[in-house]
C-alpha cells in the first residue's frame, strides 16, 4: 500500500476534496483525517496506520454544525500526541479556487517552501561559530568580538576584582557564622516590657554573638565596595550583566559557581515601602503583626558577601530612594525592632534601569518637579561605576555568534531540532531594528523561526521564517 494511502482516511463525501488531500499528502507528506464535527478524534486516531507522519490536518466535514465542546476535546487530544495537528472547518461548498489551493492556503506554513533549494546553499550550522554552556545564563550574552563588548567585559572584570579583594575568601563559612549569631538576636521577642527590652538588647550587643558579627567581615571597607549602576535599553542584557558579576572566580569542586543573589523589582514596592523595609532589612520577633515568630534576617543579611540586584531603580519613589541612600552610606542594617548599633552587611549592590536617570538627577531631594520624573542627585552620585550597556543595534557585527549561541539553548530551539540557519536569515536579522526589545526580541524571532522550521519537518531556519515574525527593519 502506498505511503500516501496510509495518511488519508476518514469519511470522505467529497471525492474532489479527497483527491486534493491525496495530492498534497504525496507532495508534502501531510496526513489528512476527515471526520464529522461531533466525532471524537481519539476514536479516529485508532485507525491511524502511519506513525511516521508528524503533520496531520483534521478536516471537519462539510455542512456539519460545529460542536464547540467536542472541538475543544479534540484539540486537547491532539495536544497529547507527538505529531502536530491542524484543525480545519471546511466551507459549505468547494471554493472557486479549488480544494488544492484552499488547503495550501490553510497549511501554508507546513508546505515545503519554493525557496528551499536556492536559500539553503549557504548555511550557518548551529554550534559552528561559538561553543557555550547552555546552563550558563551569561554565555550567549558575551559572545562576539565588537569593541563595545570587549570594553564592557573589561569594565565588569574590574568590578569583580574590586569586590573580591574587599570581601576576601571563605565567604560562605563566614556568612554562616553571622547567621548563627543573628538567629539568637532576632528571636528575642520585642513585646517584652520596654525597660527589660533595652537591657536585653544592651546585653546582646556586648555578647559574643555581636562580636562575632562585627569581627567576621571587619576587614571590608564600605567605601571600597563597588556600587554599580547599569543603564541601557530594554532587553539589552542588564540581568546578564548581574549574573556575570555574581559568577565566582575560584569556586572549589562541588561548590556553586555563583555568589548568593537576590533580585529586588522596585516597582513591586511602590506604595508599599514598609514591606520593602521588612524584606530588605529584616525584623525581630514580634516587631510587627504578621511577621514570623522567629524573626527574619531580610534579603541583605541573608546575602552577605553576595549580590543584590535592584531592578528598575528608575521607578523608585522618594521613600525608596531615601532608604537605599541610607544603606549605601555605610552598609549598616537595622532590622525592624533592632535598638542597638547597625549590623555591617557588605554586598555587591547592582542597580539597573532603562530610564535616563542621569538626566533626571538634580541637586534636589524631591523626585518630581513640574510633574517630571526626578532621581535624587545624591543617590545617583553614590554609584561609583556606571555601565552604559549597548543595545543589539550597536552590536550588529556580534549577531552571527549571538544567534549561534541562542540556537544552542533548548528554550529557544527545543531538543535542538534545528541544526542550521541560512545566511540569508542571519543577514535579515542583522538588519532588524532591535530598539524596543534587543535580546528578548531576537530570542522571540529565533523561537518562532524554529517553530516554523519544525512545522515543515525541516531542520533549517529560512529567511521567510523570520520575516513572518519581524515587524520592522532598521
pLDDT of 118 reads 56
Digit-coded pLDDT (tens) for 102-132: 998 888 777 766 555 556 568 899 989 888 8
pLDDT of 65 reads 62
Cross-strand pairs, 353: 231
pLDDT of 107 reads 87
pLDDT of 286 reads 76
The 3 state secondary structure assigned to the chain is CCHHHHCEEECCCCHHHHHHHHHHHHHHCCEEEEECCCCCHHHHHCCCCCCCCCEEEEEECCCCCCCHHHHHHHHHHHHCCCCEEEEEECCCCCCCCCHHHHHHHHCHHHCCCCCHHHHCCCEEECCCCCCCCCCCCCCCCCCCCCHHHHHHHHHHHHHHHHHHHHHCCCHHHHHHHHHHHHHHHHCCCCCCCHHHHHHHHHHHHCCHHHHHHHHHCCCCCHHHCCEEEEECCCCCCHHHHHHHHHECCCCCCCCCCECCEEEEEHHHHCCCHHHHHHHHHCECCCCCCCCCCCCECHHHHHCCCCEEEEECHHHCCHHHHHHHHHHHHHCEECCECCCCCCEECCCEEEEEECCCHHHHCECCCCCEECCEECCEHHHHHHCCEEEECCCHHHCHHHHHHHHHHHCCCCCCCHHHCCCEEEHHHHHHHCCECCCCCCHHHHHHHHHHHHHHHHHCCCCEECHHHHHCCCCCEC
Model's pTM, two decimal places? 0.75
Domain boundaries, the chain: 3-111, 123-137+395-467, 169-390
Angle at 156 between CA 324 and CA 235, to 5 degrees: 75
The CATH number of 123-137+395-467 is: 1.10.8
pLDDT of 200 reads 65
Which residues in the chain land under pLDDT 70?
1-6, 50, 62-67, 112-121, 137, 188-214, 251, 340, 362-373, 468-474
Digit-coded pLDDT (tens) for 221-245: 889 999 999 999 998 889 889 989 9
Burial of 48 per CB tally in 10 Å (0-12, 13-18, 19+): middle
Q: Provide φ and ψ at 226, rounded to 5°.
A: -65, 140
At the topology level, CATH places domain 169-390 in Rossmann fold (3.40.50)
Amino acid at each position: 500500500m502506498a505511503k500516501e494511502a496510509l495518511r488519508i482516511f476518514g469519511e470522505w463525501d467529497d471525492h474532489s476534496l479527497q483527491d486534493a488531500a491525496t495530492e498534497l499528502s504525496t507532495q508534502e507528506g501531510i496526513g489528512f483525517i476527515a471526520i464529522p464535527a461531533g466525532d471524537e478524534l481519539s476514536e479516529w486516531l485508532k485507525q491511524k496506520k502511519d506513525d511516521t507522519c508528524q503533520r496531520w490536518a483534521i478536516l471537519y466535514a462539510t455542512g456539519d454544525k460545529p460542536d464547540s465542546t467536542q472541538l475543544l476535546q479534540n484539540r486537547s487530544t491532539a495536544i497529547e500526541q507527538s505529531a502536530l495537528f491542524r484543525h480545519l472547518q471546511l466551507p459549505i461548498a468547494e471554493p472557486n479556487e479549488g480544494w488544492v489551493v484552499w488547503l495550501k492556503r490553510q497549511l501554508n506554513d507546513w508546505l515545503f517552501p519554493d525557496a528551499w533549494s536556492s536559500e539553503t546553499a549557504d548555511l550557518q550550522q548551529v554550534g559552528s561559530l561559538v561553543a557555550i554552556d547552555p546552563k550558563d545564563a551569561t554565555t550567549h550574552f558575551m559572545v562576539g568580538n565588537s569593541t563595545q563588548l570587549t570594553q564592557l567585559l573589561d569594565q565588569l572584570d574590574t568590578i569583580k576584582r574590586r569586590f573580591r579583594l574587599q570581601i576576601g575568601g571563605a565567604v560562605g563559612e563566614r556568612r554562616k557564622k553571622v547567621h548563627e549569631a543573628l538567629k539568637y538576636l532576632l528571636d528575642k521577642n520585642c513585646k517584652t516590657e520596654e525597660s527589660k527590652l533595652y537591657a536585653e538588647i544592651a546585653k546582646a550587643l556586648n555578647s559574643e554573638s555581636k562580636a562575632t558579627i562585627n569581627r567576621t567581615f571587619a576587614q571590608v571597607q564600605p567605601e571600597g565596595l563597588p556600587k554599580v549602576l547599569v543603564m541601557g535599553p530594554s532587553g539589552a542584557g542588564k540581568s546578564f550583566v548581574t549574573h556575570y558579576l555574581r559568577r565566582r572566580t575560584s569556586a572549589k569542586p562541588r561548590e556553586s559557581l555563583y555568589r548568593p543573589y537576590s533580585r529586588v523589582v522596585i516597582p513591586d514596592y511602590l506604595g508599599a515601602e514598609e514591606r520593602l523595609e521588612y524584606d530588605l532589612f529584616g525584623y525581630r520577633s514580634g516587631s510587627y503583626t504578621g511577621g514570623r515568630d522567629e524573626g527574619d534576617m531580610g534579603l541583605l543579611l541573608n546575602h552577605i558577601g553576595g549580590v543584590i540586584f535592584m531592578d528598575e531603580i528608575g521607578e523608585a519613589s522618594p521613600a525608596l530612594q531615601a532608604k537605599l541612600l541610607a544603606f549605601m552610606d555605610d552598609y549598616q542594617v537595622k532590622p525592624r525592632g533592632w535598638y542597638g548599633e547597625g549590623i555591617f552587611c557588605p554586598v555587591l549592590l547592582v542597580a539597573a534601569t532603562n530610564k535616563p536617570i542621569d538626566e533626571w538627577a538634580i541637586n534636589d531631594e524631591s523626585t518630581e518637579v513640574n510633574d517630571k520624573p526626578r532621581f535624587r542627585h545624591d543617590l545617583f552620585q553614590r554609584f561609583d561605576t556606571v555601565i552604559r550597556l549597548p543595545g543589539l543595534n550597536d552590536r550588529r557585527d556580534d549577531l552571527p555568534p549571538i544567534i549561534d549561541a541562542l540556537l544552542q539553548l533548548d528554550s529557544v530551539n527545543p531538543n535542538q531540532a534545528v541544526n542550521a540557519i541560512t545566511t540569508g536569515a542571519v543577514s535579515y536579522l542583522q538588519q532588524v531594528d532591535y530598539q524596543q526589545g534587543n535580546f528578548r526580541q531576537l530570542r522571540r524571532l529565533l523561537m518562532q523561526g524554529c517553530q516554523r522550521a519544525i512545522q515543515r519537518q525541516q531542520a533549517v531556519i529560512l529567511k521567510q521564517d523570520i520575516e513572518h515574525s519581524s515587524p520592522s527593519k532598521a
